[in-house]
Amino acid sequence: MQLDWERLRLFHAVAEAGSFTEAARRLHMSQPALSRQIQTLESSINAKLFHRHARGLAMTHEGEQLHQATRDMAEAVDRTQASIEASRDRPTGEIRLATTVSFGSTWLARQMVDFLDLYPDITVTMLLGDSDVDLAKREADVAIRFHAPRQSDLIQKPLVPIRHRMCASPAYLERYGEPKTLEDLDGHRLLAYGASAPDALKGINWILEVGPDAPQRVPVLTINNSFGVLQAVEAGAGIAALPSYLIRFSGRVKPILPDVEGAVFRTYFVYPSELRKSVRVGVLRDFLVQRMTLEALDLTRDPTA
């Protein structure tokens, strides 16, 4: 029995996506056409590959076996592609880079201009979200994470630590006064990320409990994204703890209580081992190591000065 390579590729896309609808979207083809190709594949091997039900798809035992084979094939192709690229002098290809919304949409997006100038044959797709994507399933090629990776098979390159500072807008401080001690925070309007913060970002709400005998402070406004919190701070809604790069990016908010140690997030450039020899991944890693410094990301000056 000779299997059709194209139908195996389509099957792999459905297995990875978990639904015909999502796989069809990724493949840029119609769902009925994709479904017919999978049915033809099932007929050629005389086995059902998926159980179809109201909540989506579940692979049969035969489907799981075939998925393992197609996954091995995809990884082998990726390794071969990386090896081919490593033999070239000029990095080329696409990099899908995942990171948090606030970091990716502010500081990092501005750095991409220089990176693309340096490597015009590389295209970058930035995938922004505060929850981790699964690099093992190739939901992205690389990631900048604000915590150490939990998967042991991922390569990690430590980057600069990111500090959080408290800040408020000049308009808010003029209206309500500037807190001089941690106890003063108890009488102010506080903004926070909220309880929906992913596990890796739980320390982001340290302003609600900082201080030796601080009560559990209740924020007047929660937004499940740090960039959204910044917008509210700029508008004068209250005081928040934000990453230092975001305060610098704004230039419209003032750090307060500068001697108070805030949360520190260790950052890492992370990618799967099969991309170890990828030239395009290597040049992006080296670029970020060079650019992500304390001088570039921390508060070395008053951004409102």
**Residue 80 shares a structural domain with residue 143:** no
Nearest to 103 by CA among 279, 305, 282, 268: 268
* Range(s) of the domain holding residue 138: 89-159+269-291
Whether the model clears a pTM of 0.75, i.e. scores above it, the answer is no
Q: Is residue 301 part of a domain?
A: no
Nearest to 127 by CA among 147, 103, 148, 152: 103
Nearest to 202 by CA among 241, 260, 231: 241
Instruction: Report the alpha-carbon distance of residue 177 to residue 207 in Å, rounded.
Output: 18
Average pLDDT over residues 196-203: 70
Q: Which of 41, 66, 85 is the last residue of a domain?
A: 85
Residue 209's CB is within 10 A of a number of other CB atoms, namely 10
Domain count of the chain? 3
Nearest to 243 by CA among 291, 268, 288, 207: 207
pLDDT tens digits, 7-50: 999 999 998 888 888 889 989 999 999 999 999 988 988 999 99
**Residue 188 shares a structural domain with residue 41:** no
**Residue 28 shares a structural domain with residue 61:** yes
**Residue 260 shares a structural domain with residue 176:** yes
Q: What CATH number is given to the structural domain containing 123?
A: 3.40.190.10
Q: At what angle do helices 279-291 and 109-118 cross, to 10 degrees?
A: 130
Average pLDDT taken over every residue of the chain: 88
Q: At what angle do helices 31-45 and 20-27 cross, to 10 degrees?
A: 110
Residue 300 has pLDDT above 80, yes or no: no
**Residue 275 shares a structural domain with residue 146:** yes
Q: What CATH number is given to the structural domain containing 81?
A: 1.10.10.10
Would you state the pLDDT for residue 304? 44
